[in-house]
Amino acid sequence: MGSSGVRIFVSAVYGDDLPVVLGQANAAGIMGPGFVWMCIQADASLVLNDTLSSPEAVDVIRPNMQGVLWLRNEMIGAEGTATTSSAFKRHQLALRQTPASTYASADLAARLATSTPLPLEWSAYSYDAVWTLAVSLSRTIVAEAGGSAPESLEFRQQLRSQLQFVEFQGASGLVAFTETGNRQPEHIGNSLYFLDVQPGAPRTGQWVPSLTFVGSAPVVVPGQPDAPGVVPVVWASGSTEIPAGGTACRQGLTFDWRTNRCVYLVNYVAAFTSTISMRNVLAAQVAVRHVNERNASVVPDAAMLPPDFKMKLEMYDTRFSPAGGVEGGLEAYNSGAIGVIGAARSSACVPLSHVLLASQTPVVSFACTSES
């Protein structure tokens, strides 16, 4: 959105996951004025008018449903009606009530029975990667007080040096690194898990194109009632006019329209091609908010950060390709990012690292190693 400063999120989740993701996003403060959400293959009724989801959760999300764009193929039930058809709802309800042991893998069923979850660590790694940069950056600011400016090569070299001595208790366990920059493997833990649902669910209808925009007018979707409680899109100032933009900041910092101050810019460079990767993006955004608010709910050492220290995260999609890694590195270099997070495959890690080598911009990856 150019100088408007609006942040756009693309959600690739659907079904019962959608209220969960939007609920977490709302709690993290990344919904409402100044944010646009594009929901792919999602059913608006799951959040706006749904009898299956928790009404309490829907009521919490709805006040911040300003400017939500729905891009989907609408499912027409076997009876010829829309997604609210009794056949479609019966199908959803049957899946929801099916015991885990009947649709999960044998290994997962055994893990659930013994209360040992199957880990999905990428989101926890993504969260901790933000804190890793935040901790090392705050220490560099203290060490370089009155000395090197953030845009200087000396400052970035000090930042890379400080990364080696980072140690804190994060979402994925104790975060500490070896001399080569790899994480110490004996400290890796996990706090997240997922259900390995097998494919083969019965077909309940056909798909037809549909597009819905939640704005000033009530939402009208075939087979669904109007959506109450939705207001026009507004910006950070409370106005419906596009804001003029930020103020000039020195190189190495950027203007954050939400806080009206200059902040340290960090780029998130990774592939946004799956539900898992979108959860990683959301985890990183939540981490930035926790850093800026000194929220110690996950990382107890939040108090170590300087009182005026703030971060801002910008996203770049590598599309799982080396070319995407190069483009992401150039984007980070041209924007003056102080650090980069991401690159979850070696095919993107290597070109990304090479592009950033000249500027000594550190890369904190939650999948690549120093060897790759």
pLDDT of residue 58: 66
211 DSSP β-pair partners: 71
Are residues 331 and 209 both part of a single domain? no
Average of per-residue pLDDT values in the chain: 65
> The domain that contains 352 carries what CATH number?
3.40.50
Same domain, 131 and 264: yes
Task: Name the pTM for this structure.
Answer: 0.54
pLDDT at 103: 36
Q: Does 294 fall in a domain?
A: yes
**Same domain (yes/no): 165, 255:** yes
Q: How many domains does the chain have?
A: 2
Tokens representing 269 are 């460079």
Are 269 and 260 in contact by the 8 Å Cβ rule? The answer is no
Look at residue 21 in the predicted model and tell me its pLDDT.
79
Q: Tell me the three state secondary structure of residue 33.
A: coil
Q: H/E/C letters for each residue in 135-151?
A: HHHHHHHHHCCCCCCCC
Q: Confirm whether 225 is domain-assigned.
A: no
* Cα 328 versus chain centre, distance: 17
Domain that holds residue 339: 122-192+246-364
3-state SS, residue 277: helix
Q: For residues 282 and 171, is the Cβ–Cβ distance under 8 A? A: no
Q: Which residues of the chain have pLDDT under 50?
A: 1-4, 50-52, 73-85, 87-88, 91-92, 94-119, 189-237, 242-246, 372
Same domain, 300 and 203: no
Which H or E run includes 266?
strand 261-270
> The tokens of 4 are what?
């408007």
Among all chains, which residue has been given the structure tokens 């000396």? 154
User: Is 132 found in the same domain as 49?
Assistant: no
In a domain, 239, yes or no: no
Tokens at 243, concatenated: 């804001």
